[in-house]
Structure 1
Amino acid sequence: MPTTSRWADPRADTPDAGSPAAGSTNSEDLDAVRERAQWLALAVAGSGTGIWDRNVVTGEIRYSAAWKAILGYTENELTDRIEDSYQRLHPDDLPYVQAAMQDHFEGRTESYEVEHRIRCKDGRYKWICSRGKVTSRDSAGRALRMVGTSTDITSIREMAEQLRETVDLITNLTDQVPGLVFQCSRGPDGRMAFPYVSAGISDIYELAPEAVARDATCIEALIHPDDLAAYRASFDESAASLASWHLEYRVCLPAQGLRWRLGDAKPQRLSEGATVWHGFITDITERKRIESELQELATTDGLTRLANRRHFMGCLEAHFAYLRRTNGLPAAILMFDLDHFKAINDRWGHAVGDEALRHFADILRMELRSVDMAGRLGGEEFAVLLTLADLDDARVVGQRIQRRLATQSLSCGQETIPLSVSIGVTQMRMDDVAAEAALSRSDQALYRAKKKGRNRIECV
C-alpha cells in the first residue's frame, strides 16, 4: 500500500475544476472551499502539528506531510505500519503510550492524550503531544478507526525543564540560607498567610510550610505576649503606607524556648486590594545576648552588679526631669558609706573588702523595691533613689538597711567582721537646678553622719 499522505496537498480531497462534480458545484463556492482548505493546511503546518489516521483493525496508520516533517522525514520515507511507529518511541515511554491508547480503545477514556518522546530521522528524540479519538466502532463497540494529531512540544518541555531547574536552584539557595525567606499575603479582610516559605521556617518558628500556607494564626500564637501588639501594628503600618516592614520581636517556641527574631520585608499592593510582602526573618538571639552583655558592662559596676556611677546619674537626671515635667510625687536620695572600710582592707585584705562591698550590695537589693534604684558611686560609697518617698519614708528604709547589716554579719574564717553604714538623706526639690544638687545635699548629710560618730542617719 502506498504511503503517500492524503495531507500532502491541501487540495487533494477537493474536486478539481475538470471533474464531473465541478459541473454541479458553484465555482465560487468551490474556490472558497479550496481557499479554506489551504488556510487550514497552512495553519496546521505552521503550528508544528501533524495529523495521523489509524485503521485499528489492519494496523495501518497514515501520516500527514507535516507529521513526517516533525521527525525530519520526507513524504515517502516512513512505512504505514503501527509496529514501526512503536519502534520510534522512546523505550521508557512505550508502555504508558500503549496503555493510554488501549484505555481509549476500550472506552475507559473520552479521548487519547499523551506526552512522549519519539526518535527523529537523525537519531535525536523529540517530545511530542499526541491527541486522538476513535471515530468509528463496530456493533460490539470495538474500535475501528482513530484520528489524531501530534504536536512538537520539545521547546516547551525544554523551557519547562529550565524553569524547573531555576526554581530548584532558587529553592535550594533559599533553603540553605540561615533564616526564613518568605512571601506573606494579607487580604482586604486582614487574614494573613505565607504562600511561600523556605525550609528555614522549621528553625525560625518550628512549623511546617503547609501550616502557614493558607492561615498564619499559628505564627501569632508563638509571638511573645508582650510583643504581639507591636507585631500586629507593624504589619498594619506597613500595609497602610507601603513602607518596609522591620521589627525585632520575641517568640516562645516549644523546643527552643524564648528566642529573638528580626523581620525585614518590602510590601506590594495587588489590584484586588491585598498586600504582599517578600522578605526575610532571621534569628538575632545571640546578637541580643551580646547587646545585653555590652549594655550591662556599660551600666553596671563589675564588683557589686549594681548600677555604676554614670548609669546611676543618668537615671537620676531622667527621674528629676520627669518630676519637673509632671510635678510628680516626691522622691528621696540616700547616700551610704561603709564605716571604717579602710581598716577592713588593712586587717583582712582587699579580697575581704571586696566581699564586704558585695555583701552590702546584696542587702540593698533585698531591702529595695523594684521601682527603686541602687548604684555604687565609687569605693565604699553607694546611693539609692527611692521613688514616691519623702524624708520620713527614706529614714525608715535607711534604718531597715542598718539593722539587716548588723544582723547579717560577714565572716572571715572563724572571725566575724563587724559592718556598719553611715547614711545621708535628702529629697528632690522642684527648685533644684539639677539632680546633682540633690545628690550633693545627701552627700553633705552623709558627711555630718560620719562626723557625728558614724552608723547613723542624717537628713537635710
Structure 2
Amino acid sequence: MLTTDPDYYAVASGGLSADDVPPLTASPECDAVTRLARVHFGVAAALVTLSDGHGPRLQAADGALPGALPPDLFARSVRVGKALDTVVVIPDTRDDSRFFIDPQGVAAKWPRFFATCALTAADGRHMGALCLLDDAFRTFDEGQRAFLRDLAVLAAQALVRAHKDTALRDRVAELEADQELTMLALTGSGTGVWDRNVVTGEIHYSPAWKAILGYEPHELSNRIEDAYQRLHPDDLEHVKATMQAHFENRTDTYAVEHRIRCKDGTYRWICSRGKVVSRDRDGHARRMVGTTTDITASRELAAQLQQTIGLITNLTDEVPGLVFQYRESADGHGFFSYTSDGIRDIYEVTPEQVAQSAGPIEALIDPRDAAAYRQSLVESAANLTPWHLEYRVRLPRQGLCWRQGDARPQRMPDGGTLWHGFITDSTERKRIEAELHELATIDHLTQLPNRRHFMIQSEAELVRVRRGDSLGAAVLMLDLDHFKALNDRWGHALGDRALSHFARLLRLEVREGDIVGRLGGEEFAAVLPETDTDAAIALGRRVQRRAAETPLIHGDNRIALAVSIGIDRMLATDVGAYQSLARGDSALYLAKERGRNRIEIYHE
C-alpha cells in the first residue's frame, strides 16, 4: 500500500495536494489504461495526470491514491529546453536527487519506485504523464518500457479525443443558444419568414430568408416553380409529398429538412416549418406561412459527434475484456446501460440481452461464487467503495472460466447506483497460479506432498491434538530397503520408477484425510489422525504386504520392494511436528539395524 501522508509529495509537486485538484470529467478510456497498467506491472498505483501552468492535475487513477500528485518531470524539462527520454524509471527514489527537498536537503517521503511516460499529442504538445508508483524496489526491462509507452499512446489519444469532445459539446451549446436567439428574433421581426399563396403559385421571402442562400433583398423570383428548381434533386419528391400531406389536412403542420441550392451553386441544409393559415369552404389550402432555419452547421456537427462516438466505441471494443456501465436502481433492479463488444467473449451474450436486465449474466455466475458476487455489489453500492472481485462463470462454449471485475460506483439522483468498470478474463492467470502452487507443494516424481507442504499439514494436525480436537495421531516413517543397491544395479531411471511405484501403493492403503509425503530420497512419512499405535502397525503391515505382492516389472524381471517402518505418536507437549517425526525416525533406524523389512515402535 502507498503511504498517504498529506506532506507526501509537497516539494516534488509544488505543494499541490490531490484534494486541491479540481474534479475533471471522467474518461473511461484513461480509467481502462490505468487499470491495465496497474494489473500488468503489478504496482500499487497507476495514474494519468494532466500538465498545466499550475502543476499536475489528476485525470484517472487505479490503486491506492497518494496524498498528493507526483511531479511531472517532462514539464520541467520542457521549461528548461532540455530533452528527456519519454520513459523515466527510478528504481529507488531515495537515490535520486530530484526527490529531495532542495533548501534543507532532507529527503521527502515518497514511494520507493517511480516510473513515468510522457503523454504527447500528435503535434508534439506535452499533455501530461502516465505514472506507476510502488513501495518496492524494482527495475524495468526494454519490453516493459515499450509496453508503458504503448499504454501512454492510448492515454494520450484518449485525452486528445476528450478535448475534442469538450470542444464539440461547447459548440453544440453555442449553437443551441444561437438557435434560441434566432427563433426569438424571427418571432419579433419576421426574419426568415416565407409566405405562399397556394392559389396563385406565388411565394414571398423576407430579406433574412434570402440572405441564407446568399441573395440580396431585391433578388429571387416569387414563383413556386423557381423555388422547386432550387431544391436538391434527391429531396424534391419528399418535400412535395410532405407539403401535399399538409395541404390535404393529413398533418397538423408542415415540417421538413432538405437541401437547397444557394446563389453560388452550393447546397445548404435547411429546416422549413409552416402551416396553412387559410382554406376555402371546401377545405382547400389558400395561404401558408412559415419559417426557414439554416441547419447546415448542426448537421455537420451531428456527423462529427457521430464519428467521435464511433471512435470511442471502436476503442473500447478493441480493448481485451469488457468495458461496461452498470446501473442498479434503489430497489435492486440492475441492467447494463453500456457494454463494449467484449461482452461476447467475457459472458457469451450480446449487449442487447443485458440492456434491460442483468439476469442473463447473473445466471452465468458459478453457484460457488454467486453469493459473493451479489454481496460485493451490495457493499460497493452501500459504501460507494470500488468494486473488485474474482469469480467463476460457466459459459456454454468456453466452460468454467475465471473473471476479474473492477469498477467505481457513484450515487444517482434517484438513489440508485451507477458503476463504470472493466472485466477481464483471468482464467489463464488462475491456471498458472494453480500450477505454481502445485509446483511449490507437490513432489513431481511421486505426486505426493513435498517435505515443506507435508510439514505444514503436520503442524496443523499437531494444533488439533493440542486443542483436544483429535483423539491422537500416529506417525509413520517409511524407508525403502536396499534402494542404493537397486539404483546401482538397475540405474537411476528404474530407481525413480520404484519411488513412484511405492508412492502409488502407499496411497492405496491410507485413508482420505491421512497426511502422506515424500521427505527426500527413498524416505516417506505419514501422519494418521484419529489413529492409535495398533492401527498404525496394521497399516504398516498392509503397506509391507502390498509392496511385496506388487513387484515392479522391468522387462522380464519382477522386482519386489521391501520397506522398513518406524512408528510413534504425536504428543500435545511436542514443540513442533518435527519431534514426533524425529522419534519415528529413531524407530525406523532401529528397524534397519535389526534386519530391515520390519516395523519398530519408538521407546524411550
Which TM-score bucket, shorter chain as reference?
A: 0.7 to 0.9
Q: In the alignment, which residue of structure 1 is the partner of 2:196?
A: 54
Q: Among residues 474, 484, 490, which one is paired with 1:348 in the alignment?
A: 490
Q: In the alignment, which residue of structure 1 is the partner of 2:555?
A: 413
Superposed CA offset, 1:395-452 (max 9, x none): 3333332332222221111110011222222322221111221221222222222223
**Deviation, structure 1 residue 275:** 0.9
* Higher RCO by CA contacts (8 Å cutoff, separation 6 or greater): 1
* Preserved CA contact (<8 Å) 1:61 1:81: yes
* Preserved CA contact (<8 Å) 1:182 1:280: yes
Which SS does the other structure have where 1:113 is aligned?
strand
Superposed CA offset, 1:142-178 (max 9, x none): 3222221112222322332222111111111111111
Given residue 567 of structure 2, which amino acid in structure 1 is its aligned partner? V
Q: Among residues 232, 251, 267, which one is paired with 1:90 in the alignment?
A: 232
The TM-score normalised by the length of structure 2 is 0.66
CA distance in 2, matches of 1:206, 1:329: 52
Pair 42,122 (structure 1): closer, same or farther in 2 beyond 3 Å: farther
CA distance in 2, matches of 1:46, 1:408: 108
**Deviation, structure 1 residue 48:** 11
Within a 5 Å distance, the mapping from 1:147-166 to structure 2 comes to 147-166=289-308
Q: In the alignment, which residue of structure 1 is the partner of 2:258?
A: 116
* Preserved CA contact (<8 Å) 1:48 1:151: no
Please state if 1:246 is matched with 2:388.
Answer: yes
Q: In the alignment, which residue of structure 1 is the partner of 2:520?
A: 378
Which SS does the other structure have where 1:97 is aligned?
helix
Q: In the alignment, which residue of structure 1 is the partner of 2:98?
A: none
CA distance in 2, matches of 1:46, 1:279: 50
Q: In the alignment, which residue of structure 2 is the partner of 1:366?
A: 508
Superposed CA offset, 1:125-158 (max 9, x none): 3322211122222333332222211122223223
* Preserved CA contact (<8 Å) 1:49 1:151: no
CA distance in 1, matches of 2:465, 2:245: 89
Which SS does the other structure have where 1:334 is aligned?
strand
CA distance in 2, matches of 1:170, 1:387: 61
Please state if 1:189 is matched with 2:315.
Answer: no
CA distance in 2, matches of 1:309, 1:48: 95
Please state if 1:270 is matched with 2:395.
Answer: no
CA distance in 2, matches of 1:49, 1:389: 103
CA distance in 2, matches of 1:405, 1:319: 28
Which SS does the other structure have where 1:436 is aligned?
helix
CA distance in 1, matches of 2:411, 2:383: 10
Please state if 1:174 is matched with 2:316.
Answer: yes
**Deviation, structure 1 residue 45:** 7.5
CA distance in 1, matches of 2:239, 2:416: 45
Q: In the alignment, which residue of structure 2 is the partner of 1:390?
A: 532
Please state if 1:295 is matched with 2:428.
Answer: no
* Preserved CA contact (<8 Å) 2:476 2:568: yes
Pair 361,41 (structure 1): closer, same or farther in 2 beyond 3 Å: closer
Which SS does the other structure have where 1:223 is aligned?
coil
Q: In the alignment, which residue of structure 2 is the partner of 1:259?
A: 401
Pair 335,267 (structure 1): closer, same or farther in 2 beyond 3 Å: same
Q: In the alignment, which residue of structure 2 is the partner of 1:334?
A: 476
Pair 51,414 (structure 1): closer, same or farther in 2 beyond 3 Å: same
Which SS does the other structure have where 2:192 is aligned?
strand
Q: Among residues 136, 140, 160, which one is paired with 2:282 in the alignment?
A: 140
Pair 143,331 (structure 1): closer, same or farther in 2 beyond 3 Å: farther
Which SS does the other structure have where 1:77 is aligned?
coil
Pair 404,217 (structure 1): closer, same or farther in 2 beyond 3 Å: farther
Pair 56,303 (structure 1): closer, same or farther in 2 beyond 3 Å: same
Q: In the alignment, which residue of structure 2 is the partner of 1:200?
A: 342
CA distance in 1, matches of 2:188, 2:232: 25
* Preserved CA contact (<8 Å) 2:458 2:515: no
Q: In the alignment, which residue of structure 2 is the partner of 1:215?
A: 357
CA distance in 1, matches of 2:230, 2:198: 19
**Deviation, structure 1 residue 198:** 0.8
CA distance in 1, matches of 2:491, 2:236: 95
* Preserved CA contact (<8 Å) 1:194 1:213: yes
**Deviation, structure 1 residue 341:** 1.0
Q: Return 354-363 or 46-55, whichever deviates more.
A: 46-55
Which SS does the other structure have where 1:68 is aligned?
helix
* Preserved CA contact (<8 Å) 2:190 2:206: no
CA distance in 1, matches of 2:397, 2:189: 58
CA distance in 2, matches of 1:47, 1:355: 103
Given residue 541 of structure 2, which amino acid in structure 1 is its aligned partner? Q
Please state if 1:454 is matched with 2:596.
Answer: yes
Superposed CA offset, 1:346-372 (max 9, x none): 222111111111111112333334423
Pair 165,448 (structure 1): closer, same or farther in 2 beyond 3 Å: same
Q: In the alignment, which residue of structure 1 is the partner of 2:369?
A: 227
Which SS does the other structure have where 2:337 is aligned?
strand
Q: In the alignment, which residue of structure 1 is the partner of 2:108?
A: none
Pair 352,104 (structure 1): closer, same or farther in 2 beyond 3 Å: same
Pair 316,49 (structure 1): closer, same or farther in 2 beyond 3 Å: farther
Q: Return 80-89 or 317-326, whichever deviates more.
A: 317-326
Q: RMSD of the alignment, in Å?
A: 2.4
Superposed CA offset, 1:86-136 (max 9, x none): 232233322322222222222222221122222333334332221112222
Please state if 1:280 is matched with 2:425.
Answer: no
CA distance in 2, matches of 1:121, 1:322: 97
Given residue 294 of structure 1, which amino acid in structure 2 is its aligned partner? L
* Preserved CA contact (<8 Å) 1:49 1:152: no
CA distance in 2, matches of 1:171, 1:197: 10
Please state if 1:424 is matched with 2:566.
Answer: yes
**Deviation, structure 1 residue 329:** 4.6
Pair 41,208 (structure 1): closer, same or farther in 2 beyond 3 Å: closer
Superposed CA offset, 1:239-260 (max 9, x none): 1221111111111111111111
Which blocks of at least 5 consecutive residues in structure 1 are unaligned?
A: 1-38
Given residue 363 of structure 1, which amino acid in structure 2 is its aligned partner? L
Q: In the alignment, which residue of structure 2 is the partner of 1:440?
A: 582
Q: In the alignment, which residue of structure 2 is the partner of 1:18?
A: none
Pair 243,42 (structure 1): closer, same or farther in 2 beyond 3 Å: closer
Pair 312,42 (structure 1): closer, same or farther in 2 beyond 3 Å: closer
Pair 379,42 (structure 1): closer, same or farther in 2 beyond 3 Å: closer
